[in-house]
Structure 1
Amino acid sequence: MQATAKDLRFNVKELLDTVSRGEEVIITYRGKPQAKLIPFEDEIAIEDELFGIWADDSKSEDVAAYIRNIRKGRFDAD
């Protein structure tokens, strides 16, 4: 569904009802798409495991030690 910025200003409840039914609403300003209203998902799947390039990196075995080492100053004697 498409709606103008003016529709958003004056018909917020109707647009939110549309989004709550699962539809996406494209907001246009002067005929050009500017924003998209999409349904909000409560549950975001976040795992405790590392992902991406860190998943197989040996430095990720002891993350706390690695971060301490990165944050250590240049002139520390450790």
Structure 2
Amino acid sequence: MTVTAKDLRFNVSFLFDVLSKGEDVTITHRGKAKAKLISYDDSQQIPKDDAMFGMWSDLNDDVDTLVRNMRKRREF
């Protein structure tokens, strides 16, 4: 389905219905395709155990605990 940017602004709920049926939506602006909305597939989510990566990948604590500890007030 192809819609204009104006249609996107005024008919968002209709576009969500179209996406829920699995159809992709191309958004145009001044007659040229600018973006593409695709339906979200839950089966492609990143597994929860791979939530940390990079420099924190070797730590055993979860991200929420690490961030909470960083935000605590420092005591000297």
TM-score tier after normalising by the smaller chain length: 0.5 to 0.7
Q: Deviations over 1:36-64 (max 9, x none)?
A: 111101122769xxxxxxxxxxxxxxxx8
Tell me the equivalent position of 1:24: 24
Question: Within 1, Cα distance between the matches of 2:10 and 2:17?
Answer: 14
Unaligned 5+ residue runs, structure 1?
Answer: 48-63, 65-78
Q: In the comparison of the two structures, how many residue pairs are matched?
A: 49
Structure 2 residue ranges without an equivalent (≥5): 48-57, 59-76
Q: CA RMSD in A?
A: 1.8
Provide the C-alpha distance between the structure 1 equivalents of 2:45 and 2:15, rounded to a whole number of angstroms. 27
Q: Is the partner of 1:35 in helix, strand or coil?
A: strand
Sequence identity, in percent?
A: 56
Amino acid at match of 2:35: A
What letter corresponds to residue 36 of structure 1 in structure 2?
K
Question: 1:46 and 1:5 mapped to 2: Cα distance?
Answer: 31
* Largest Rg, 1 or 2: 1
Q: Which residue of structure 1 lines up, in the alignment, with residue 37 of structure 2?
A: 37
Relative to the length of structure 2, the TM-score reads: 0.57
Question: What residue identity is the alignment partner of 1:19?
Answer: L
Q: Distance in 2 between matches of 1:34 and 1:26?
A: 8
Moved over 4 A (4+): none
Can you list the C-alpha shifts for 1:4-55, whole angstroms capped at 9, x where unaligned? 00000000000110010000000000000000111101122769xxxxxxxx
